[in-house]
């Protein structure tokens, strides 16, 4: 019974670390004048979309584990995309 909670705690911690990487990259680029209006819009719209998807997941009986997995997948995609851009 404790293992699922430990997995959720580990995944949530990893989500926080991965998200910090995305935040750092975006803020650094903005500070150096390399940000773009498209990236700024994406930052806002992806958060609203992710929140809506999480709400639907929970409302339809999904687990917190599924929500965290979804967020991590999106954050990892951002990390990859931001690494490709100069």
The total number of structural domains in the chain stands at 1
pTM of structure? 0.83
Q: What residues make up the domain containing 79? A: 2-84
Percentage, residues of the chain above pLDDT 90: 79
DSSP per-residue letters across 44-67: HHHHHHHHHHHHHHHHTT--HHHH
Residue-level pLDDT at 1: 75
**Model confidence pLDDT, tens digit, residues 7-27:** 999 999 999 999 999 999 999
- Distance (Å, whole) CA 69 – CA 75: 10
């Amino acid at each position: 019974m404790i293992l699922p909670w430990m997995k959720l705690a580990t995944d949530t911690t990893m989500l926080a670390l991965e998200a910090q990487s995305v935040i750092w990259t975006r803020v650094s680029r903005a500070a150096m004048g390399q940000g773009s209006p498209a990236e700024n819009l994406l930052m806002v719209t992806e958060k609203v979309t992710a929140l809506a998807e999480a709400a639907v997941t929970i409302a339809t009986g999904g687990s917190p584990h599924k929500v965290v997995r979804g967020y991590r997948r999106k954050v990892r995609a951002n990390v990859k995309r931001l690494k490709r851009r100069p």
